[in-house]
Amino acid sequence: MVSVQRILVCNYLLISLAVVLGLLTNGSWAEDKLVNLTRLKMFVDELPDMPKIKAFHLVNGVPKPKSLKIGMYKIKWKFHRDLPPTPVFAYGARWRTATVPGPTIEALHGIDTYVTWMNRLPSKHILPWDPTIPTARAATNKGVPTVVHVHGAIDEPASDGNANAWFTARFEARGPLWSNRKYHYRNQQHPGNLWYHDHAMGLTRVNLLAGLIGAYIIRHPQVEGPLGLPRDEFDRTLIVFDRSFRTDGSIYMNSTGNNPSIHPQWQPEYFGDAIIVNGKAWPRLTVRRRKYRFRIINASNARFFRFFFTNGLRFTHVGSDSAYLGEPVETNDILLGPSEITDVVVDFSKSKNDNAILANDAPYPYPSGDPVNDANSKVMKFFVVGHSAVDTSRIPKRLISYPVPDLSSVSRTRYIAMYEYTSDIDEPTHLYLNGKPYEAPVTEIAKAGTSEVWNVINLTEDNHPLHIHLGLFVVLEQRELVDVEKFKDCMNKTNDAVNCNISKYARGKKIDVPAYEKGWKNVFKMSPGSVTKILLRFAYLHTNASYEFDPTAEPGYVYHCHILDHEDNAMMRPLKVVR
C-alpha cells in the first residue's frame, strides 16, 4: 500500500513544478460566479436529434466498408436558450458541424468501419486538470492529449483506445502505447448500443466534461427487423449528463481539490445541477400517442440516475448496455449508473395527461449522498399531442436470446477488490483495484474463448460501476458482506480474499439484481460493502466463436470503475488476453 506521507512528498514536488509551468488554476477559474439555475426556465429548448454518420457505403444497394475522418474541435455550444454560448470540445466530421454530444455513428453488423480520429484541439485545456495524478502529458506541455474508446466494442487492442495511446493535435505528441492513426472497427458483434468517448490517461474526466462523447449503434436489420420495435423518427437516442455553468456560460469545474496539499485539483466526484439531454438543459420533445423507443446513455462523470415518469408511465426494457434482453421487462423506474445504457420502449398512448416529465430521484454520490434538488430532479418533458396515433410497431414477447451462463465452462475464478484510501483529514486521496496502481504488472490474464468467474469485492462506501473492455458478463449474484470492518482490516493488510476467508464474510443478505439487468452487460453497479459474482465471457456472444482479430496483441485491454474521477485516480487495471 502507498503511504500518505510518500504521496505528500511526491505531490509537493509535482505541485511546485506545475506552478512553475503554469499548469494549474488560472485567474478565470478562481472567480467562480455560478448561474442561478432557478432563473433558467426548464423545457424551453427542443430536444436535438444528433447528426448521424453512416459507417458504411452502399454500392448498388450492397453495404461496403467505409473510412471516416472525425475530428475533435473547440467550438461554442448553446446548452440553454438563456445561457451564453459555452466553450466546449466537440466531435464532428468538420469544425462547422461538430456537436455536443458528437454525431451518432451508425454501423452495420459484419461491415468494417475505419475511423481516423483527428485531434484539432488547442494547446491548452478549457478546464482545470491535476498533474499530481497519473496523467497523459506531452513533453512540451502543449496540446490536449486525447484517445477514443468505443465503449462496448469488441475489437483489436490497437483500436480499443488504450489510455496510453493518446495523441495531441496533428499527432505532434504521442503516448507510449500509440501505434496507428486509423482505427478498425469490425462490427462483428451482436447488434446493440455503444458510445464513444475520450479515454486519455488522467484526463478522461475533464475531456468528457468538455464534451467528447457520442453514440455508436450497431444495427443488424435481418435480426432486428422482425422484432417490430419502433423505428425511424420513433427511435431516439438520449445521451444524459450533468453540468454546472458560470454566468459567462463556461462549464464550471471546481479547481480546488478536497486534499489540496496532495491533489491541488482532483476531487472524488463531479456533480453538476443542470441535467443535459442531447446537449440541451432540460429539453422538451413533442410526441404522438404511440410507442417510442429510447436508447438512454448515462454519460455523466459520477451521477447515477433513477429515472421515472411523474405521470406514472412505465418503461418496457428491450436491451441493457450493448445487448438485447431475451424478453421484455416492464418497470416503473430505471437505475442507471455512469456509462450504463438502457434500451426502452415507452407507450405514450397510455398517458393520462398531455405532458409527462422524465424525472430523477437518485442521491449523489449514490447511494448515500445528498437528495436531489429542483434542478437535478428534472430531466426532460414530453408533450403528448393528439388522439391515439396509427402505430404499426410492437413489443414482441421474445426478443433475442443469447447463451445462458454456463458455470461448467468456467476456466478460472478471481477476486477483484475495490479500495479507497484517505488522508489524515479523512478525505479520499486515490482509489485502487486489487490494491495496485495501473502501472503495476498485469495480474488478470484471460484466455480467449473461455469464461471466468469474477467476485468483485467493494470495500468502499460508494457504488462503483465496473466496466470491462472486450468481455461481456452476466451478474450471477450480489450479496452483502457481514463484519465488513473486520474483513476490510484483513484485506488492507494482505490484499488476499482467500486468505482473509472471504466465504466467512460473503454470507449477508442477497441484493436483488433487477430483471432488466440480468442479461449480458459490459458495466454493472458494484454496491458498497458487497460481493458481486459475475460470469465473464471472452468470445462473441451471438456465435460463441473466436474473435476475428488477435486479442493477444499490444497494448491489451483494461477494466476500471466508470466514475471518471475514480478511473483517473487510479481505479483502472490492465487486462491481457492470451490464446
Three-state secondary structure string covering 430-443: EEEECCECCCCCCC
The Cα-based distances of 185 to 65, 160, 188, 332 in angstroms read 10, 9, 8, 36
Structure letter (DSSP) for residue 172: S
Q: Return the minimum-mean-pLDDT range out of 24-28, 161-165, 307-311, 476-480.
A: 24-28
- Asked if omega into 85 is within 30° of 0 (cis), the reply is no
State the number of CA atoms in the 13 A half-sphere of 232 facing the CB. 4
C-alpha cell at 431: 482509489
Q: Are 292 and 47 in contact (CB under 8 A)?
A: no
Q: Are 322 and 190 in contact (CB under 8 A)?
A: yes
Is the Cβ–Cβ distance between 151 and 77 less than 8 Å?
no
Q: Does residue 233 contact residue 15 with C-beta atoms inside 8 Å?
A: no
16 pLDDT more than 70: no
Q: Which three cell numbers stand for residue 155?
A: 475489437
Q: What is the pTM of this model?
A: 0.94
Instruction: Give the separation between CA 334 and CA 49, rounded to whole angstroms.
Output: 23
Report how far residue 483's alpha carbon sits from residue 509's, in angstroms, rounded to the nearest whole number.
Answer: 12
Beta-carbon neighbour count of residue 184 at 10 Å? Answer: 16
The DSSP-derived string for 328-382 is EEEESEEEE-TT-EEEEEEEGGG-SSSEEEEEE---BSTTTSBPP-TTTTEEEEE
**Given phi > 0 = left and psi -120 to 50 = alpha, else beta, which region is 353?**
beta
pLDDT in tens, 498-525: 999 999 999 999 999 999 999 999 999 9
pLDDT digits (tens, 9 = 90+) for 357-402: 999 999 999 999 999 999 999 999 999 998 888 999 999 999 999 9
Beta carbons of 450 and 409 less than 8 angstroms apart: yes
Q: pLDDT tens digits for 403-443?
A: 888 899 899 999 999 999 999 999 999 999 999 999 999 99
Query: Three-state SS for 494?
Result: helix
Which residues, other chains included, contact 280 with Cβ-Cβ below 8 Å and sequence gap of 6+?
45, 46, 47, 48, 79, 80
pLDDT in tens, 175-186: 999 999 999 999
d(CA 538, CA 551) in angstroms, rounded, equals 10
